[in-house]
Chains A and B, each alone.
Chain A
């Protein structure tokens, strides 16, 4: 009896191992690459962080998705090699606009093709925008297209005829876009996922115009019009894209392929980089930044990035309803010390809300470390030396750096203002829920711009905006933003936005902390990976130097 059991157990274990091994050995061998081989074959090995949820540009929401989609789908225009305020032709080989930037015409090149050989037409763009604006499709970024004339009405069902929306195919190679107001930043906007085209044929083959999560995004079905096309997609491991021979500018594409690895854990990324499994990481673990900066400066890159880290203040709660208290909280923070000692990635102390690099918009220089003034303001608000100041809580989603920053700020407020602050961490979605329901005192927040214009930062603070979440609102501020949207002259427009931000900061419904940078590790064999504010790299320019020995 015993022997039989033993035998059966061995058999089961053997089968399990064999089954498992058999599953992978068949698929594994084809993808073996070392860095040197990768350089020789011109295959870029990078990680974009977590696993993308979808590669359908109209369903995508995150930066991760965007960085992968960029390789395969090209918009009307494409990012320049080293300057984000300039663009190069994409699907459109030329374009014009009227004097106040509210009507644009894009001429789509005759040689633009999808990876199945279909020509890219103006109708494809019209279809894509119709899909974005089909309410039942539920595209998260549909409001990005509301600057098209009639788009919002169509979305809300007030008009049912899509031809009344301000996007028209004059012929199959001419696309006319009519906007509700002057939009000088449209060229930056149309590079965003929500403005990218999809091939109507493949969408309709796998569903209707409003079918979500259809099978068209699978590797075997995906249609690309960009420099690369999808070869395989292994969830939680790697997405492989290879050169797209039908791309209009294929002759100038340098790489033969890109492997996008999904590696969430920062330490794992760094180990993979050290082991020669990656050309580029997505981040550098906090504690390793000084090491790389001091010992291996050739491997670490710190690029400016357009994002701001701040705490939202729920101004409906006492005593946070007093602007003096809010300013005092702002002035008591030594941002320099936080950036220099905790983050150490050359982040800039946020002296205003909109970060630098937003085109010609000069960031405001308003919030500074001034403990004396902070104490004075707090006293004026009725809490001399923090006496009687009610305890409030700072709320953040669980993460090492959020906690470190919160602990440091907690200590600064204690030392400078003598007020007690509690800290509470929450799991990501619970934290979002708390923030959206305004069920907090102070809540950690961050904001990353979608395109190159301060509006991407400032429009969220209008009264009742879905991303405001602070209960703050000012008719004057709303008027500024409204006025800016109607102003055609770029200079005057930025001036109005400046005034809006100045007003916002004087009321301070946020505690500003720092402006982001983007730190990552990069093998020197990667060419033309230039620092870009939005991080939108046009992969067709990226090259690999094969003679360069990988640095270990």
Chain B
């Protein structure tokens, strides 16, 4: 086991190298530079700025220089936040997204798995359609619709939560992470619910469950001890990337609730052509993806004894 984990973590190095390389050249190919603006600076000024940030050198030289710095864990300065380095931007924004994402993940998991299991057990009955239809709401009302609705209801009407901001507004009972987390969580809950229901149905019709039933093992024990293990396989496979996405933040939700998290940096860095920040966030997300996919693979192996052979 340890060997597998260490092996996978070592794969991080080539994976990150490829991600950084591809992203580096792609982002340089995108038109527009970090210094273009509606009121154009003169070409000489742009040239001076490019020289200042080393953007006038040949691409391969910039690339090698960048890699040399990355090896020393220096991701360079951000062009968008002019007094911060990329590392500082990630270090201040990630904890916020991490909190929202973790809470959202718990919400999604609890609601999703519960709804999925209830639906699967009561297949094609009222208690199948009801939780499934409810969980569909998370998809029918995408985050950019649900977010404003929650802000209106809980922020403006009930006055329970702040409608904007992270610091400084705690005269309301809800922590500012709650609405963003619910918005995100409900969206993922819908996915988890449907995947759980499907996975559970696959397992519940298998012979060993029927055998167990025939033997008189109580239903709840069958579900928790046997069915859930296999039934959750698709969910767990889905959760690796989902969790990486959740804790690295969501652009839409952070804009709707004006939360200073990391999610918006992924998009804004591209819009601003903030090359160091693009690369920094992408590398960071790459690490999350690899680590969480590894976790998800390990859990899949543990859940499914047969695949351990």
Are chains A and B touching directly in their complex (CB below 8 angstroms)?
yes
Q: Of B38, B41, B168, B247, which contacts A28 at CB under 8 A? A: B168
Q: How large is the interface on A (under 10, 10 to 19, 20 to 34, 35 or more residues)?
A: 35 or more
Does B199 touch A at the CB level, under 8 Å? no
Residues in B neighbouring A53, C-beta threshold 8 A: 79-82
Does A27 touch B at the CB level, under 8 Å? yes
Q: Of A218, A268, A436, which contacts B164 at CB under 8 A? A: A268
Residues in B neighbouring A256, C-beta threshold 8 A: none
Bound-complex Cα distance A140 to B82 (A): 14
Residues in B neighbouring A142, C-beta threshold 8 A: 45
Bound-complex Cα distance A17 to B98 (A): 8
Does A245 touch B at the CB level, under 8 Å? no
Bound-complex Cα distance A443 to B237 (A): 47
Residues in A neighbouring B62, C-beta threshold 8 A: none
A432 lies within 8 A of B98 (CB) = no
Interchain nearest-CB distance for A42 vs B (Å)? 17
B169 lies within 8 A of A29 (CB) = no
B170 lies within 8 A of A271 (CB) = no
B256 lies within 8 A of A140 (CB) = no
Q: Of A62, A215, A237, which contacts B166 at CB under 8 A? A: A237
Bound-complex Cα distance A214 to B151 (A): 38
Residues in A neighbouring B114, C-beta threshold 8 A: none
Residues in B neighbouring A16, C-beta threshold 8 A: 98-99, 102, 247
Q: Nearest chain-A residue to B255 (Cβ)?
A: A265
Stretch of B135-143, B155-163, B190-198 on the interface side: B155-163
Residues in B neighbouring A234, C-beta threshold 8 A: 166-167, 260
Stretch of B11-19, B29-37, B124-132, B202-210 on the interface side: B29-37
B102 lies within 8 A of A263 (CB) = no
Interchain nearest-CB distance for A72 vs B (Å)? 15
Known contacts A1-B302, A53-B81, A138-B52: A429-B32 contact under CB 8 Å: yes
Does B22 touch A at the CB level, under 8 Å? no
Does A391 touch B at the CB level, under 8 Å? no
Residue from A2, A236, A237, A271 having most chain B Cβ neighbours under 10 A: A236
Does B60 touch A at the CB level, under 8 Å? no
Residues 274-309 of chain A, each 1 if its beta carbon lies under 8 Å from chain B, else 0: 110100000000000000000000000000000000
Bound-complex Cα distance A410 to B165 (A): 39
Residues in A neighbouring B106, C-beta threshold 8 A: 13
Q: Of A13, A271, A427, which contacts B271 at CB under 8 A? A: A427
Q: Of A34, A61, A135, A271, which contacts B48 at CB under 8 A? A: A135
A212 lies within 8 A of B258 (CB) = no
Does A388 touch B at the CB level, under 8 Å? no
B155 lies within 8 A of A237 (CB) = no
Residues in A neighbouring B103, C-beta threshold 8 A: 17
Known contacts A212-B52, A268-B256, A429-B271: A446-B32 contact under CB 8 Å: no
Interchain nearest-CB distance for A437 vs B (Å)? 9
Of residues 77 through 96 on chain B, the ones whose CB sits less than 8 Å from some CB of chain A are 77, 79-84, 89, 92-93, 95-96
Q: Of A31, A139, A433, which contacts B45 at CB under 8 A? A: A139
Q: Nearest chain-A residue to B36 (Cβ)?
A: A432
Q: Of A1, A17, A215, A430, which contacts B99 at CB under 8 A? A: A17
Interchain nearest-CB distance for A194 vs B (Å)? 12
A32 lies within 8 A of B171 (CB) = yes
B156 lies within 8 A of A271 (CB) = yes
B148 lies within 8 A of A267 (CB) = yes
Does B307 touch A at the CB level, under 8 Å? no
Known contacts A29-B170, A143-B42, A433-B32: A277-B165 contact under CB 8 Å: yes
Residues in B neighbouring A2, C-beta threshold 8 A: 302
Interchain nearest-CB distance for B194 vs A (Å)? 22
Does B3 touch A at the CB level, under 8 Å? no
Residues 231-270 of chain A, each 1 if its beta carbon lies under 8 Å from chain B, else 0: 0001111100000000000000000000101111101110
Q: What are 13 residue pairs bridging A and B, where the CB atoms are less than 8 Å apart in the complex?
A: A5-B302, A17-B99, A17-B102, A28-B168, A32-B168, A61-B39, A137-B52, A142-B45, A237-B166, A238-B167, A268-B258, A275-B163, A432-B38
Chain B residues packing against A (C-beta within 8 Å): 30-33, 35-45, 48-49, 51-52, 77, 79-84, 89, 92-93, 95-96, 98-99, 102-103, 105-106, 148, 151-152, 155-156, 159, 162-171, 177, 247, 255-258, 260, 264, 271-273, 299, 302
Chain A residues packing against B (C-beta within 8 Å): 1-2, 5, 13, 16-17, 19-21, 23-24, 27-34, 51, 53-54, 56, 59, 61-62, 135-143, 212-215, 217-218, 234-238, 259, 261-265, 267-269, 271-272, 274-275, 277, 427-430, 432-434, 436, 445-447, 466-467, 469
Kindly list 19 other residue pairs between chains A and B, CB separation below 8 angstroms, not including A16-B99, A24-B96, A31-B168.
Answer: A17-B102, A17-B103, A20-B102, A21-B99, A29-B170, A33-B168, A33-B171, A53-B81, A59-B82, A235-B92, A236-B264, A261-B258, A263-B258, A268-B163, A271-B155, A271-B163, A277-B169, A429-B32, A467-B40
